Amino acid sequence: MAAAGYIVLTLKFKKVDRRWTAYCEELGTATLGRSLPEADKRLKEAILLHLNTLEDVGERNRFFKENNIKLYPVRPKEDITICVPLNKDVFVEPHIQAIPALTAA
């Protein structure tokens, strides 16, 4: 399936006790993991599930508009900058997600 475009998401990770919490600011999707890589993997899986569900119920365009999520027609350059706190237990990273073309209803 061809990509309709791309969105840029902000992923935040924070160490809480012995676990990592993971949160996508734009979608409100969250999860946790025992390690930073596990939390990252789980969050990206949750993001795909969230986006697929929005498409399945026909709400993707409305959700993007209401949450000011910009759909880029081509993949943005990798040099997106996000301010990262200077704390060893908190990480912020940009994530570029391909968005599949809408399917006919």
Three-state secondary structure of 37-105 = HHHHHHHHHHHHHHHHHHHHCCCHHHHHHHCCCCCECCCCCCCCCCCCCCCCCEEEEEEEEEEECCCCC
According to the model, what pLDDT value does residue 44 have?
96
Question: Is residue 53 within 8 Å of residue 44, measured between CB atoms?
Answer: no
According to the model, what pLDDT value does residue 80 have?
57
Answer whether 0.85 is exceeded by the pTM.
no
According to the model, what pLDDT value does residue 25 have?
94
Q: Could you tell me the pLDDT band of residue 13, with boundaries at 50, 70 and 90?
A: very high
Q: Could you tell me the pLDDT band of residue 84, with boundaries at 50, 70 and 90?
A: low
pLDDT tens, position by position, 22-71: 999 999 999 999 999 999 999 999 999 999 999 999 999 999 999 999 99
Domain edges within the chain: 3-100
Q: What is the mean pLDDT of residues 81-88?
A: 58
How far is it, in rounded angstroms, from Cα 101 to Cα 51? 12
Kindly report the CATH number that applies to the domain delimited by 3-100: 3.30.160
Residue with tokens 């930073």, as numbered in its chain: 36
HSE (CB half, 13 Å, CA atoms) of 18? 1
Is the pLDDT at 1 greater than 50, yes or no?
Answer: no
